[in-house]
Structure 1
Amino acid sequence: MELELRHLRLIVTVAEQGSVTRAASALGLSQPALTAQLNRIDKTFGAAVFTRDQRGARPTALGEFVLGRAKVLLPAMAALVEDAHRIVAGTQVRTRSVRVGTASTALGGLFVNRLISELDVEVTSVTLPDVDGVSDQLASGSLDVGLVGLCGTAEPPVVDGVRWSRVSTDPVFVLVPDDHPLAARPMVTLGDLADAEWFGVTGAGCFQRCFVTACARAGFTPGKVSEADRAACVDLVRAGHGVALVQPTFPDTPGVSVVPLAGAPLVWAHHVGWRDESAALPVAGVVDAAAGAHAEAVSRSSPRFVDWLTPRA
């Protein structure tokens, strides 16, 4: 027997239902007919895809492997058929493929979503460790578009053939545990946190230098300063090990509170970039998608950021 897509659909259904009886009902087959199909599939692979007993049907190691591939192949085939129907019907099919790189930004997912939905393109995305990497790959043609975050006083690297547009400039807020004495305040100063251990202070660009300078202006030298990614910051702050500097679009998260810093002593900016010779996307559409991603992030952010923005609107 040659394996067909219908066999993969059958395997997925059995795994989802957890039993041959329920899967047969969902597929509109008799249980003996489904069992016979499964036996033929097992024979084709040379081993059992499911362990079947009175407790139901559970994927074997082979079954997990097959399920993983099936969950890729079935949607891909469905998309192929859908696009073919659209071609026959005379509607446009996405033919443009865009390579997007992001670094030091919380807007990457929202930006990619908007490129796909608003500009009707296929997107391949990659997260890079720093802004220089995004700029270099734009210049080399490995990327078509980039979205990066930088300390608000800095600008993206100047590279021939690459253009940048500033999307937004936001204040940097502080993340504290919910039970912190300052958590309920509408705003705090850096000086209020002079004795804190700090997380999330990236060493890329000038941000660390700007942070230390801001602390000096507030009358103190920060103690221990550690770099940490977003997930680590939340865990460390929630556990009471320190406070973290975060982008203001940070959403409400159980156990931690986002508090504005008085006077906005630190700022973070987002920039969108593209290659001059890239014809993959209209520049205006790229810039609009980046601005829309920021606006969407603001709408989902902590209410304290919305409150902070209101008098400045």
Structure 2
Amino acid sequence: MQVELRHLRALCAIADAGSVSRAAATLGVSQPALAAQLHRIEAALGGQVFRRGRLGVTPTPFGRFVLNRARSALMTVDELLTGPADGTDGVRIGGYATPVLSGLLHRLFELPGSRITVQTEYSPRLLLDLLVSRRLDVATLVDYPGHELPVMPGIGTQLIAVEPVFVALPAGHRFAGCDEVVLADLAGEDWLVTPPDGAGWPECFYSACQEAGFTPRVRHMMTERDMIRTLVGEGRAVAPCQATWRAGPDIMMRPLAGPPLWMRHLLAWRHGGPLADRIGELRAFAEEAYRDAIADSPAYARWHHTRVMEG
């Protein structure tokens, strides 16, 4: 037997009801039919999902594993099948976890009567697709030189900020005390980079390294910020990072010398969406949030002040 979505829903219904008979009533089938189906599902999965008792059923350790995966799979499928937003659930805002998104949300949640649903995704291109499919109303996006996000029908965008890419170094690194670091001087380092995001990262970083005359030796690839801090802080690697990234006492953030590798922060929205007539206000919120992020990053604040004075 091949396990299908309806079988996963049956397992979840049994777990939620605590008994096969109560789950059968919920699903509109007979208790013997559901019990027989459960036996076939367990045989297909190769293990007992529920422990039967006088008062009902409880998941086995294997069953808890199965149910966790089943609920996750059903949630993903239900999300795919959900129709476009109709505005009844409030405003849907998405983005990657940047200071622009967090600062914008903080300001929006403070507004009276705000009804906001938040969805974070790692891929800017996926967020753009969610806007196009009307599953999001507003999103904060990023893109990179030579990999600018495409212009999409029905979607408006405004530039919030252009941010340089910094490098995170262990506090004891030989270049940690420098005002800026030449990328080519890091050619012999072990690198940690975040995975491809479908919008040009880390391809633009690899291109910058090639232009500097070397291919980076990427030892680690991850998104978990605590693990990144640990590996860099322990001297296991150096890492390209956002200038607004909050590092830690064992890490020094340093700008790259010369024309910096950069990323753009964008605000995007659906034309005709619930916030389309308030984009000016949202842009002001996002820009204010980004200024606060600069102030919270001493290394970036110094770099930014120098550039403003030179400009």
TM-score, normalization: structure 2?
Answer: 0.65
Shift in CA distance, 264/251, structure 1 to aligned 2, threshold 3 Å: farther
Residue of structure 1 equivalent to 2:210: 216
Deviation per residue, 1:90-148 (Å, 9 max, x gap): xxxxx993211012634321121122235862321111121122112112221111001
Report which stretch shifted further, 202-211 or 252-261.
202-211
State the 1:161 CA deviation.
Answer: 1.1
Deviation per residue, 1:8-35 (Å, 9 max, x gap): xxxxxxxxxxxxxxxxxxxxxxxxxxxx
Alpha-carbon distance in 1 for matches of 2:112, 2:149: 25
The answer (yes or no) to whether the contact 1:201–1:225 under 8 Å persists in 2 is no
Report which stretch shifted further, 225-234 or 167-176.
225-234
Alpha-carbon distance in 2 for matches of 1:265, 1:215: 12
Residue of structure 1 equivalent to 2:126: 133
State the 1:180 CA deviation.
Answer: 1.1
State the 1:312 CA deviation.
Answer: 2.0
Residue of structure 2 equivalent to 1:228: 222
Residue of structure 1 equivalent to 2:293: 297
1:180 maps to 2:173: yes
How many percent identity over aligned positions?
30
1:269 to 264, 269, 292: 264
State the 1:295 CA deviation.
Answer: 0.9
Matches within 5 A, 1:185-204: 185-204=178-197
3-state secondary structure, aligned to 2:217: coil
Shift in CA distance, 104/112, structure 1 to aligned 2, threshold 3 Å: closer
The answer (yes or no) to whether the contact 2:138–2:275 under 8 Å persists in 1 is no
State the 1:227 CA deviation.
Answer: 2.8
Matches within 5 A, 1:93-132: 97-103=90-96, 105-117=98-110, 121-132=114-125
**How many residues are matched?**
218
3-state secondary structure, aligned to 2:110: helix
3-state secondary structure, aligned to 1:107: helix
Alpha-carbon distance in 2 for matches of 1:145, 1:240: 39
State the 1:201 CA deviation.
Answer: 4.1
Residue of structure 2 equivalent to 1:6: none
Deviation per residue, 1:60-81 (Å, 9 max, x gap): xxxxxxxxxxxxxxxxxxxxxx
3-state secondary structure, aligned to 1:163: strand
State the 1:178 CA deviation.
Answer: 0.8
Q: Which residue type is aligned with residue 310 of structure 1?
A: H
The answer (yes or no) to whether the contact 1:105–1:148 under 8 Å persists in 2 is no
Residue of structure 1 equivalent to 2:44: none
Unpaired segments of 5 or more residues in structure 1? Answer: 1-94
Alpha-carbon distance in 2 for matches of 1:274, 1:207: 23
2:281 to 278, 285, 292: 285
Q: Which residue type is aligned with residue 214 of structure 2?
A: F
1:309 maps to 2:278: no
Alpha-carbon distance in 1 for matches of 2:141, 2:187: 30
Which runs of structure 1 show a deviation greater than 4 angstroms over 4 or more consecutive aligned residues? none
The answer (yes or no) to whether the contact 2:222–2:228 under 8 Å persists in 1 is yes
Residue of structure 2 equivalent to 1:253: 248
Residue of structure 2 equivalent to 1:65: none
State the 1:156 CA deviation.
Answer: 2.4
Alpha-carbon distance in 1 for matches of 2:274, 2:202: 37
The answer (yes or no) to whether the contact 2:91–2:274 under 8 Å persists in 1 is no
3-state secondary structure, aligned to 1:207: coil
Q: Which residue type is aligned with residue 135 of structure 1?
A: L
Alpha-carbon distance in 2 for matches of 1:238, 1:207: 23
Shift in CA distance, 106/132, structure 1 to aligned 2, threshold 3 Å: same
Q: Which residue type is aligned with residue 266 of structure 2?
A: H
1:243 maps to 2:238: yes
Q: Which residue type is aligned with residue 300 of structure 1?
A: D
